Structure 1
Amino acid sequence: MSDEDFGEYLRDAIDRYALAQVAAKVCGPEDAKAVAVKTYEKLLPNGVGTHGHHLYNAFNAMEKVGMIWLAEQDRVRKTGFIYDVIVVNALRRRGIGLAILRAGEGMARLMGLETLRLHVVGDNFAARGLYRKAGFGEASVVMVKELSDPIEQRT
């Protein structure tokens, strides 16, 4: 990914991440953008040049169809982490996401990685289905209940 592409990606990614943090009840909408900016600054302090992080555009012929962000998470355990997978909106539901994941798996193998992990927001059913189709399974589930909700009466 070029520096120019990274700038475009980062602007969109920060907005998407902020929305996801609100949806996951990690923070409120008033703090979400600042949380997202801080997270990306920490993860990618040198942009596409950040050591151990690999951001790839995905193409079909000469058309950009998406991207994947893959990181070497633990070299001892040979584990990688997929931070992001994007398919151009107009091209979704055509197998491109699965192809991007498969290409990412190939890159991970070339890096000597043996396991890939990722995180997906619970209500992102399309992504969860894609990841299951690609062979990912759930390793843990975080559940949330707002304590401001009325106490349920138990009988």
Structure 2
Amino acid sequence: MTEIEFQHYLSTAIKEYAKNKIDAGTWTNENAFKNANASFKELLPAGIKTANTFFYSITFQADTVGYIWFASYRDNPLMAFIYDFKIYDNFQNKGFGSKALQLTTQEAKLKGFSSIALHVFGSNKRAIHVYEKNGFTTTDITMQKKL
């Protein structure tokens, strides 16, 4: 991913992350954007040049079909953690997600990681299906009940 692509990514990713956290009931509308912005600043203190952080644009022919960001997990440096991954809507259900995960797994292995992990919102059934199909298994579950 280029610096220009990264800046475009950031302009939408922080807002999208805040919305996902609101939809999941984790954050309130009042503090979601502030929390999302703080999370990105903590994870990316040097932006795209943050050490042990890897951003890729996913392309097919002349089209950018999505992106993926993974980095060394702060609690376990031998684990690569996928912090963000998206295949744009008009390119979904065409195998791009599975192929991107396969290539990311290979890349993480080449970089010396022994495992790869990610977080997925429980309501994202499509993503869960793709991750399970590509060998990811559940390690933790957070559950919530509306009152």
Deviations 1:100-136 (A, max 9, x none): 1111101101111111110001101111111111110
**Within-5 A mapping of 1:16-55:** 16-55=16-55
Which aligned pairs between 1:5-154 and structure 2 lie closer than 5 A? 5-73=5-73, 74-75=76-77, 78-146=78-146, 149=147
The one-letter amino acid paired with 2:121 is V
Percent identity, aligned pairs only?
A: 31
The structure 1 segments of at least 4 consecutive aligned residues displaced by more than 2 Å after TM superposition are none
Q: Which runs of 5+ in 2 are unaligned?
A: none
Query: Could you state the TM-score of these two structures normalised by the residue count of structure 1?
Result: 0.89
Q: Deviations over 1:39-80 (max 9, x none)?
A: 1011111111000110011111232111110111233xx211
Q: Shift in Å at residue 32 of structure 1? A: 0.8
Which letter maps to 2:137?
A: G
Counterpart code for 1:83: Y
Root mean square deviation, CA, Å: 1.1
- In the alignment, is the contact (CA less than 8 A) between 1:18 and 1:33 conserved in 2? yes
Name the SS of the counterpart of 1:14 in structure 2.
helix
Aligned-partner Cα distance in 2 for 1:117–1:88: 21
Q: Which amino acid aligns with 1:126?
A: R
Tell me the TM-score normalised to structure 2 length. Answer: 0.94
State the shift of 1:20 in Å. Answer: 1.1
Structure of larger gyration radius: 1
**What is the rounded CA distance, in whole Å, between the counterparts of 1:6 and 1:31 in structure 2?**
24
